[in-house]
Homo-oligomer: A and B are copies of this chain.
Amino acid sequence: MTSPRWLAAEEQRAWRAYLRMHSQLDAELNRRLQAACGLSLSDYEVLVLLSEADGGRLRPYELQRETQWEQSRLAHQLSRMQKRGLVVREKCTEDGRGSFVVLTPAGRAAIETAAPRHVDDVRRLVFDGLDRETTSRLELFATTVLARLETAPGNP
Protein backbone atom coordinates (compact mmCIF):
# COMPACT_ATOMS: atom_id res chain seq x y z
CA MET A 1 0.00 0.00 0.00
CA THR A 2 1.56 3.26 -1.16
CA SER A 3 0.45 6.70 -0.13
CA PRO A 4 -1.50 8.50 -2.84
CA ARG A 5 0.52 10.11 -5.59
CA TRP A 6 -0.60 13.70 -5.49
CA LEU A 7 -0.13 16.06 -8.37
CA ALA A 8 3.04 18.11 -8.61
CA ALA A 9 2.64 21.80 -7.86
CA GLU A 10 2.75 22.78 -11.56
CA GLU A 11 0.21 20.11 -12.38
CA GLN A 12 -2.12 21.31 -9.61
CA ARG A 13 -1.91 24.85 -10.86
CA ALA A 14 -2.48 23.84 -14.46
CA TRP A 15 -5.40 21.61 -13.53
CA ARG A 16 -7.18 24.13 -11.36
CA ALA A 17 -6.68 26.88 -13.92
CA TYR A 18 -7.97 24.59 -16.64
CA LEU A 19 -11.10 23.65 -14.72
CA ARG A 20 -11.94 27.20 -13.87
CA MET A 21 -11.20 28.44 -17.35
CA HIS A 22 -13.38 25.85 -18.99
CA SER A 23 -16.42 26.41 -16.85
CA GLN A 24 -16.16 30.18 -17.24
CA LEU A 25 -15.59 30.04 -20.96
CA ASP A 26 -18.36 27.56 -21.56
CA ALA A 27 -20.80 29.63 -19.54
CA GLU A 28 -19.82 32.83 -21.31
CA LEU A 29 -20.09 31.34 -24.79
CA ASN A 30 -23.45 29.86 -23.89
CA ARG A 31 -24.76 33.12 -22.51
CA ARG A 32 -23.74 35.04 -25.61
CA LEU A 33 -25.16 32.52 -28.03
CA GLN A 34 -28.35 32.35 -26.03
CA ALA A 35 -28.71 36.10 -25.75
CA ALA A 36 -27.89 36.83 -29.38
CA CYS A 37 -29.54 33.89 -31.12
CA GLY A 38 -31.64 31.96 -28.62
CA LEU A 39 -29.48 28.90 -29.12
CA SER A 40 -27.52 26.74 -26.70
CA LEU A 41 -24.11 25.35 -27.57
CA SER A 42 -25.76 21.95 -27.97
CA ASP A 43 -28.24 23.38 -30.44
CA TYR A 44 -25.35 24.99 -32.26
CA GLU A 45 -23.40 21.77 -32.52
CA VAL A 46 -26.31 19.87 -34.01
CA LEU A 47 -27.13 22.67 -36.42
CA VAL A 48 -23.53 22.89 -37.63
CA LEU A 49 -23.40 19.18 -38.37
CA LEU A 50 -26.71 19.22 -40.19
CA SER A 51 -25.85 22.31 -42.20
CA GLU A 52 -22.63 20.72 -43.38
CA ALA A 53 -24.41 17.52 -44.37
CA ASP A 54 -25.78 16.81 -47.81
CA GLY A 55 -29.36 18.02 -48.00
CA GLY A 56 -29.21 19.16 -44.38
CA ARG A 57 -30.13 15.64 -43.30
CA LEU A 58 -28.42 13.04 -41.16
CA ARG A 59 -29.32 9.84 -39.39
CA PRO A 60 -29.39 10.12 -35.59
CA TYR A 61 -26.58 7.57 -35.31
CA GLU A 62 -24.42 9.78 -37.52
CA LEU A 63 -25.07 12.73 -35.27
CA GLN A 64 -24.26 10.53 -32.33
CA ARG A 65 -20.97 9.46 -33.84
CA GLU A 66 -19.96 13.07 -34.43
CA THR A 67 -21.11 14.52 -31.14
CA GLN A 68 -20.15 11.53 -29.01
CA TRP A 69 -23.26 12.14 -26.93
CA GLU A 70 -25.28 9.54 -25.12
CA GLN A 71 -27.99 8.14 -27.32
CA SER A 72 -30.77 9.41 -25.11
CA ARG A 73 -29.24 12.83 -24.74
CA LEU A 74 -29.32 13.17 -28.49
CA ALA A 75 -32.91 11.97 -28.71
CA HIS A 76 -34.05 14.47 -26.09
CA GLN A 77 -32.07 17.24 -27.72
CA LEU A 78 -33.65 16.51 -31.10
CA SER A 79 -37.14 16.42 -29.60
CA ARG A 80 -36.65 19.85 -28.11
CA MET A 81 -35.23 21.22 -31.34
CA GLN A 82 -38.11 19.74 -33.27
CA LYS A 83 -40.58 21.34 -30.90
CA ARG A 84 -38.92 24.68 -31.58
CA GLY A 85 -39.05 24.14 -35.32
CA LEU A 86 -35.30 23.92 -35.95
CA VAL A 87 -35.39 20.37 -37.28
CA VAL A 88 -37.92 17.75 -38.28
CA ARG A 89 -37.74 13.99 -38.14
CA GLU A 90 -38.57 11.88 -41.15
CA LYS A 91 -38.91 8.16 -41.57
CA CYS A 92 -36.07 6.32 -43.21
CA THR A 93 -37.41 4.28 -46.10
CA GLU A 94 -34.29 2.15 -46.56
CA ASP A 95 -34.16 0.99 -42.95
CA GLY A 96 -37.49 0.77 -41.16
CA ARG A 97 -35.83 1.07 -37.77
CA GLY A 98 -34.17 4.35 -38.52
CA SER A 99 -35.09 7.96 -39.08
CA PHE A 100 -33.65 11.12 -40.56
CA VAL A 101 -33.18 14.45 -38.91
CA VAL A 102 -33.65 17.28 -41.35
CA LEU A 103 -32.78 20.94 -41.03
CA THR A 104 -35.79 23.22 -41.50
CA PRO A 105 -35.51 26.62 -43.21
CA ALA A 106 -35.78 28.17 -39.75
CA GLY A 107 -32.96 25.92 -38.57
CA ARG A 108 -30.78 26.91 -41.49
CA ALA A 109 -31.50 30.57 -40.89
CA ALA A 110 -30.62 30.17 -37.22
CA ILE A 111 -27.24 28.61 -37.87
CA GLU A 112 -26.38 31.11 -40.56
CA THR A 113 -27.03 33.94 -38.17
CA ALA A 114 -25.34 32.27 -35.26
CA ALA A 115 -22.17 30.94 -36.84
CA PRO A 116 -20.31 34.17 -37.59
CA ARG A 117 -21.20 35.60 -34.22
CA HIS A 118 -20.15 32.51 -32.35
CA VAL A 119 -16.89 32.15 -34.26
CA ASP A 120 -16.20 35.75 -33.45
CA ASP A 121 -16.78 35.10 -29.75
CA VAL A 122 -14.41 32.14 -29.82
CA ARG A 123 -11.80 34.09 -31.69
CA ARG A 124 -11.92 37.03 -29.36
CA LEU A 125 -12.14 35.12 -26.11
CA VAL A 126 -9.60 32.48 -27.02
CA PHE A 127 -7.48 32.56 -30.12
CA ASP A 128 -6.73 36.25 -30.36
CA GLY A 129 -4.82 35.75 -27.13
CA LEU A 130 -2.81 32.70 -28.18
CA ASP A 131 0.36 32.50 -30.22
CA ARG A 132 0.96 29.68 -32.69
CA GLU A 133 2.99 27.65 -30.26
CA THR A 134 0.33 27.74 -27.56
CA THR A 135 -2.39 26.89 -30.05
CA SER A 136 -0.43 23.95 -31.30
CA ARG A 137 0.24 22.77 -27.74
CA LEU A 138 -3.46 23.04 -27.02
CA GLU A 139 -4.17 20.64 -29.83
CA LEU A 140 -1.44 18.32 -28.61
CA PHE A 141 -2.84 18.40 -25.11
CA ALA A 142 -6.33 17.61 -26.31
CA THR A 143 -5.35 14.80 -28.65
CA THR A 144 -3.06 13.27 -26.03
CA VAL A 145 -5.83 13.13 -23.45
CA LEU A 146 -8.30 11.82 -26.03
CA ALA A 147 -5.94 9.00 -26.85
CA ARG A 148 -5.62 8.13 -23.17
CA LEU A 149 -9.39 8.14 -22.79
CA GLU A 150 -9.78 5.69 -25.63
CA THR A 151 -7.52 3.14 -24.04
CA ALA A 152 -8.88 3.99 -20.61
CA PRO A 153 -8.40 1.14 -18.18
CA GLY A 154 -11.22 0.95 -15.65
CA ASN A 155 -10.25 1.64 -12.09
CA PRO A 156 -8.14 -1.36 -11.15
Interface contact B139-A17, CB-CB below 8 Å: yes
Interface contact B14-A155, CB-CB below 8 Å: no
- Please name all residues of chain B whose beta carbon is closer than 8 Å to the beta carbon of A128 when the two chains form the complex: 148
**Chain A interface bracket (under 10, 10 to 19, 20 to 34, 35 or more):** 35 or more
- Please name all residues of chain B whose beta carbon is closer than 8 Å to the beta carbon of A130 when the two chains form the complex: 141, 144
Of the residues B17, B32, B122, B125, contact of A7 by C-beta under 8 Å: B122
Given A28-B149, A155-B32: A144 touches B115 (CB 8 Å cut-off) = no
The A interface, classified by DSSP as helix, strand, loop or mixed, is: helix
Cα–Cα, bound, A147→B20 (Å): 12
- Please name all residues of chain B whose beta carbon is closer than 8 Å to the beta carbon of A11 when the two chains form the complex: 123, 127, 135
Interface contact A148-B123, CB-CB below 8 Å: no
Of the residues B68, B132, B153, contact of A23 by C-beta under 8 Å: B68
Near B by CB (< 8 A), chain A positions 8-45 give 8, 10-11, 13-15, 17-18, 20-25, 28, 32, 35-36
